[in-house]
């Protein structure tokens, strides 16, 4: 039985609130969060994460990994098997996903357009509307949906603590309950944490998208009207 503190990974796509969650996790004095240590190809992903653990042996260690980092950067074809193996070796898994695929994709589009991925103002602000390329939007909505299905399949028989951006992170008022649950899952003492990070697109969609009428029509035609909120 290992005498080292715990270890965990955050399994989530980008633009899901993962940076915020990592920020909140890293405020606990018992945690060292390594963020995206598998973003670039490494010789041995397993050795890389174990080195993180032993380098910070006095802490509960964690890192964030995206499913496409495992498949595309690390060449791991069987993500389900990889997660199962880590779970059997004592790694706990926190999953985070975004329910509104339209806003998920829009978050990335606006970040690229504005060259600004995070808002650390502590207040949140309306940054104006952007023109959305409709074919590009639909392509990435379909891709995000495919990735979400792949994530669900990979997690099917892996014990994990599930979170959604909309329910658990979107509003700062949800953070205390969310983090209490996360810290309990990691067998850590509860701690009040906060962050200056705020939503980059807090307004209603018509105020965020210049060509909203065309986007709404295309999204509805594609069968995704449920995301128009």
Q: Evaluate if residue 29 carries a pLDDT over 90.
A: yes
Q: Residue 18 falls within a domain, yes or no? A: yes
Give the pLDDT mean for 25-35.
96
Q: Residue 1 falls within a domain, yes or no? A: no
Tens-digit pLDDT profile for residues 53-93: 999 999 999 999 999 999 999 999 999 999 999 999 999 99
Please report the pLDDT score of residue 4 as a whole number.
Answer: 77
Please report the pLDDT score of residue 207 as a whole number.
Answer: 94
Q: Residue 44 falls within a domain, yes or no? A: yes
Q: Evaluate if residue 94 carries a pLDDT over 70.
A: yes
Q: Residue 2 falls within a domain, yes or no? A: no
Over pLDDT 70: what percentage of the chain? 93
Tens-digit pLDDT profile for residues 149-190: 999 999 999 999 999 999 999 999 999 999 999 999 999 999
Q: Residue 61 falls within a domain, yes or no? A: yes
Closest CA to 65 of 9, 121, 123, 104: 9
pTM of the model: 0.93
Name the H helices within the chain.
18-25, 45-55, 67-68, 79-88, 101-114, 134-154, 165-168, 175-185, 205-208, 212-221
Tens-digit pLDDT profile for residues 97-151: 999 999 999 999 998 887 655 566 555 556 689 999 999 999 999 999 999 999 9
Q: Residue 216 falls within a domain, yes or no? A: yes
**Which residues have CB under 8 Å from 197's CB, separation 6+?**
19, 20, 23, 118, 119, 120
Give the pLDDT mean for 47-57.
96
Mean pLDDT of the chain: 93
CATH of residue 100's domain is 3.40.50.300
Q: Residue 27's pLDDT band (boundaries 50, 70, 90)?
A: very high
Q: Residue 125 falls within a domain, yes or no? A: yes
Q: Residue 111 falls within a domain, yes or no? A: yes
Q: How far is CA 154 from CA 83, 124, 129, 147, 194, in A?
A: 7, 34, 36, 10, 31
Please report the pLDDT score of residue 86 as a whole number.
Answer: 98
Query: What's the domain range around 96?
Result: 7-227
Q: Evaluate if residue 1 carries a pLDDT over 50.
A: no
Give the pLDDT mean for 49-55.
95
Give the number of domains in the chain: 1
């Amino acid at each position: 039985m290992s005498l080292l503190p715990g270890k965990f990974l955050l399994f989530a796509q980008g633009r899901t609130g993962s940076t915020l969650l990592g920020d909140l996790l890293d405020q606990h004095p018992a945690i060292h969060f390594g963020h995206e240590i598998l973003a670039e190809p490494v010789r041995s992903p397993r050795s890389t994460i174990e080195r993180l653990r032993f380098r910070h042996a006095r802490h509960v260690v964690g890192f964030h990994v995206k499913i496409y980092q495992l498949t595309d950067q690390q060449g791991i074809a069987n993500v389900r098997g990889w997660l199962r193996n880590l779970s059997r070796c004592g790694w706990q898994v926190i999953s985070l996903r975004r329910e509104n695929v339209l806003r998920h994709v829009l978050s990335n589009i606006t970040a690229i357009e504005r060259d600004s991925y995070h808002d650390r103002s502590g207040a949140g602000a309306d940054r104006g509307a952007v023109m959305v390329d409709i074919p590009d939007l639909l392509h990435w909505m379909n891709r995000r949906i495919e990735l979400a299905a792949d994530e669900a399949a990979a997690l099917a028989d892996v014990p994990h603590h599930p979170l959604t951006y909309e329910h658990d992170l979107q509003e700062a008022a949800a953070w205390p309950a969310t983090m209490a649950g996360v810290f309990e899952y990691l067998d850590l003492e509860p701690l009040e944490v906060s962050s200056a990070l705020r939503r980059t697109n807090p307004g209603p969609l018509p105020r965020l998208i210049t060509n909203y009428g065309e986007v709404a029509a295309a999204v509805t035609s594609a069968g995704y009207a449920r995301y128009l909120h």
